[in-house]
Every structure is written in C-alpha cells, then in structure tokens.
Structure 1
Amino acid sequence: MVEDEPISALIAAKALSDNFITHHVSSGQEALDFCDQKLPDIILMDINMPVMDGLTACRKLKDNDNTQEIPIIFVSSHNSPEAEDECWEAGCTDFITKPFSVTTLRHRVNSHLAAKLMSDKLKRLATVDGLTDVQNRHYFDGFLADQMKLCTRLKHHIGLILIDIDNFKLYNDTYGHIKGDECLRQVASTLRTVLKRPTDCLARYGGEEFAVVLPHTDARGVEHIANSMLSAIRALNLPHKLSSLSRVTISAGGICVSPQNLSQIALIQKADQNLYSAKDAGRDQFVVA
C-alpha cells in the first residue's frame, strides 16, 4: 500500500489482513525503493503524495522489466473522468474511489491477483521445460539474444556451454524411456545446483542436450562451471552398463567471447564444435575455447 494518509492505509490493511501480508509506504519513491528489495504481488496506490506522486511512480514501475507485470490499483479521492484517464494512461490495472467499500476492495484485489496468478502460470508453461523443470529452448533463444546485446553494450564477456549426456540412446534402449526421463530430470537438477548466480541460465536445448548461458563471465569462469558440472554428474554415480565408464556422464563444449560483431548462431556453432571435440576425445570431459 502506497498511501500518505495513515488512516486510509490502516483501513485497507485491516480489510486485507485475513488473506494477505501487507506493507505500507508513504510515497511513490518509497514504493520504488521497496520494489527494488522485494516484489509485491499487487500495489494499492494513492495519487497525491509527497516526494513522488502515484502517477509518476506507476509510470516508473511500468517502465521497469522487473515490476511492469505487478497489478497497480489506484485508490484515490479524485473521482473525475480526467483523473481516472490519467491513471489508465499511467498504466494502472484498476481504480477505486475513496471512501471505498471494504467488500469491494477485497473483491477487486482477489480478482486481479487471480488473473495475475493465471498469467504467471501460463508464462511459466511457455518458458519452462515440462520434463526437467529448467528453462526451455524458446526461453534460451530469447535470453541469449538479450544477454549478448547487454554484454556488447557493457563490453563484457559472455560464456556459453552446450552439454550432451553421453550415450543416452543406449541408456534409453537399456533401461527404457521412463528411466530415461528420470535420468534427464536428475541430470538437469544436478546441473542447476552448480549455478549460483541469478543471472546464469540453464535450459534444455533439445533431447538429451542442455545449454548454459553465463553473462559477464571470463574464460576461467566458464571452465570452472564446466568442470564443476562434470564432477557433479560423476558424483551422481547413475549406473549405465553400456557406457565405457559404467555410469552416466556428460560432455561439454564451451565458448567465452566478447560478442561484438558475432551472431547468436555463430556463438552456438562454436560451442557445438567444442562439444563434438570433447566427445571425439573420449567423452566425460569438456573443451572450452
């Protein structure tokens, strides 16, 4: 709740306290600062406030990739058509006039949160691989493109690792597809534990292949991640009796570059070439260039 009148904030908090944890700030700037630290599920915003008014705060929140999907309901004593138009133009989700009905407030909040939860679920289904619960190929393609642009602008390096489960067709033929699916899930879960930074991305690239995007990472960092992933899969010690090592292993090909004047396709091709070099050299190893 973004409200400079304590009584109004108290009434709204009491109305919602049965179902929600509420937080209260007194200005638009405080709302921006709060969202930098913790993203709320919904925002109730007054219009007239000190330091920064609600309309300005709403525009800034809608211009920020991290906060633009948060529903914002203006709760204001302004009830003219012009005031409502300004709120819609700023990007609000709804508008409630003071003094408000507690029942109306509850229903409006519940309705908009239900819509947001459904939207979040659909977005997750569109970007997450259903079997392994890591990002899917569609998400990977967009994420890599965005990070290449960002690293180009900042003149930073970017790392890419392509990973293949060794002899996975033989694993499926030996243990069956149900066991094969479980192997994919275990490998994906284990690879994900190696990544510690929120900016790193693990995706299922296709079949038994995975891809790791490492923004702002030098060659030593890429080698460290690749080596850690190979060690983590070895430690799983999943039996694979037709493998020369008698257990499930992976091969990895990595690349670390400054992406200026390099296409996304070219970056992937270079990592793929290194992956094939690792497999040709005997598997259960990585090649990073």
Structure 2
Amino acid sequence: MSLSVPPELHHDLVLVEHLLRERMRARLAIISMVGPHLIADPSDRLRALMVLAIARLGNRTGEQVAHAAAAVELIEAATRAHDDLIDEQARRAGRVANGAWDHGVALMVGDYLFALAAGEMARSPDPRIIGLYSQAVMQICEGQLIQVTSLAHREAALTAYWQRAEALAGSLLAAAAQAGVLCGGLPEPLLEPAAQLGLRLGLARQLAGEIRDMEADGALLQAGSVPLALLYAAGEPPVPEVQAVFTNPAPATIAAALPIIRATGLPAARAALAKQQDAARQALAQLPVGITTPWLAALIDQIGGLAQ
C-alpha cells in the first residue's frame, strides 16, 4: 500500500530512512539476497509513520522519535525473515519449505535485524518502548502458532482467525502507536486508545487486502491462507466447494470456490472491515487533536478504500 506522507512528517521520515540505511549498511548485501522484500518499500512505512504521527500530537519530533520509528521497521523486517523460513501452504501440509538459502542463514538475518532493532530501542526517549515492542514480538510469535485447522466448527475457526490476525496484523502497529504516545510525552491513559487505533488499522488493512484478493484471482488461497470471507462462506456443515479449497487449494478448487466466497462471504467480510474502521475512528477521537490528526483520519478511510 503506497501511503501519502503529510508534509510535516517528511523530514522525520527521511531521518528514519537514513537510520535504516546506516544500520544495515554492513550486511545489506546478505539481507537483500536472503529476501529483497524484507525491508519494506519506503512508500510503505506505516509503522514508522504511526510512531511519528502520534508523537506529533504531543508536538515532539527529532532524532529520538526517529529511533523508535526505525526500531519498529527493523522488527517488521526481522519478522518477515523468520516468517519466510516456513511457507504457509507447506506448514498446513506439515512440510518445511526449501529455498535458495538454507534456514540457518535466514534465521541469522532475522536475528541480526532484531539486534539492530534493539539498538534503536535503546536510543528511544522512553525505556518503556522496549517493553512495548518486546511484547508485540511475543504476540507475533504466538500468532504464528495459531492455525485454522478445520471448518467443521465455524465459531472456533473464526476465533482462531481473529486471534491470529490480531497478533500478526495488529500487534506491532498497536505497539508503534503506543510508542508514539511515549515519544510525544502524552499522558499514560492515552496508551490504550492509541493501541486500539493501531490494532484496528492493522486488522482493517488485512481485511482490505483479503477482500481485494477474493475479488481478483484468489492468490491468497493458492498460498494456503484462510481469509475471513472463506470462513463466512463455509457454513455449517461446510459447503463442499469451500471445504475442498480449504483442504486442497489447487487451481480447480479455487475456481469452484471463489464464486461462492464472493457471493456469501465477501458481504460479511466487508461489514467486518467497516467495523474495524469505525473502531479506529473511535480510538482516534480519544487522542488529542494535532497537526497529524487529519492525516490519521484520512488513513483510516484510505485503508478501507482499498477494498472498494
């Protein structure tokens, strides 16, 4: 997702990019060969921008805030490296994926990025940021272990979906928003609405991506993912075509299941997306109004608009 960056955050984001380049300079060639996508495109610095934008609500800016923003991007890169060790579809089938690089190298790259993130956290203006980011990493690790293993009981499957989504899509963004509160010197009671803003934005972003994919060719199904629309379309007992694509996401089963998912699952998924956007707006309303408030409000609309 390409993000519009408000003019008031341009300077700070440039500083974040400088920190990322400087920290990774020594091992950039290896990092790039293991996974060129590990360091997200500069147009997609949502986590860093969340730190910077909320810190600005407290009228704080500068190098210390940039360290906290760089740290969260390095954590995201590290989790990408570790996540790539096991292919999603192979995990569901009980097989480990094989790649051009052995798992030891990819694991060490992920650990190296975590170490770089720790250095940036230590330079952040509030030591509590270390705890926030560490807790998010633990949630991400726990989320990787949560799988939708059966469609037989839809409520259990939905519970697993939301637990996994909150951990993988929402926890780090929530921590970034809370880091913005601490960097901005804002009152501690604002940590909870900031966390809710980040969490709901992360969930909305995931849902928007899933919806867009289900409207297109169902590439997420081919990769072994279980989007929310599939769970809503499954029914009890599961519709045979949906059960088939869940068990064996092959081109034929995807082609048979997509019309059913689009007809019966997408409306509920769109409603879930709208609910996450509304929750994000409510959380934003509890934060102080500042120069970046309009951008944050527009961001909530933009993320939802991706699914239109």
What's the TM-score bracket when you normalise by the shorter of the two chains?
under 0.3
* Bigger radius of gyration among the two: 1
Q: Name whichever structure is richer in strand by fraction.
A: 1
**TM-score with structure 1 setting the length:** 0.23
* TM-score, normalised with respect to structure 2: 0.22
Between the two structures, name the one with larger relative contact order (CA 8 Å, sep ≥ 6): 2
